Amino acid sequence: MIVSAVAIVGVTGIMGAKKEKEGEGDTTKPLGIALIILAQLFTGGQFVTEEKLLGGYYLDPLLCVGLEGFWGCVYWAILLPVFQSIHCDPEG
């Protein structure tokens, strides 16, 4: 399902880029598609590495999910105030 969603985003981005006139193209579309592909590769690598390293151990599933959620909350509790303090020019 994720692969099909990424494929749909990629195809619409490529089709939209072809329709735009030359010289007026938006460079963020190819960058966005590249970031989506990079994120999918990173996530896939993470799943494979996690399975390789932890495949031989019995780990309580609820504990693993709880720890993953806990550390995700800690990371975002640190990063969100930092991101909030960054001022961006709305005019670009």
Question: Model-level pTM?
Answer: 0.49
Q: What's the burial of 6, exposed, middle or buried (CB within 10 Å: 0-12/13-18/19+)? A: middle
Find out whether 33 and 10 touch, Cβ atoms under 8 Å. yes
Using one digit for the tens of pLDDT, what is the confidence trace for 7-33? 777 777 677 666 655 555 555 567 777
Residue 10 domain flag: yes
Q: What's the burial of 75, exposed, middle or buried (CB within 10 Å: 0-12/13-18/19+)? A: exposed
- Domain encompassing residue 25: 2-84
Residue 6 domain flag: yes
Using one digit for the tens of pLDDT, what is the confidence trace for 33-62? 778 888 889 999 999 998 999 888 898 989
Residue 35 domain flag: yes
Residue 79 domain flag: yes
Using one digit for the tens of pLDDT, what is the confidence trace for 58-92? 989 899 899 999 999 999 999 999 999 988 887 75
Residue 89 domain flag: no
Cβ atoms within 10 A of the Cβ of 3, count? 9
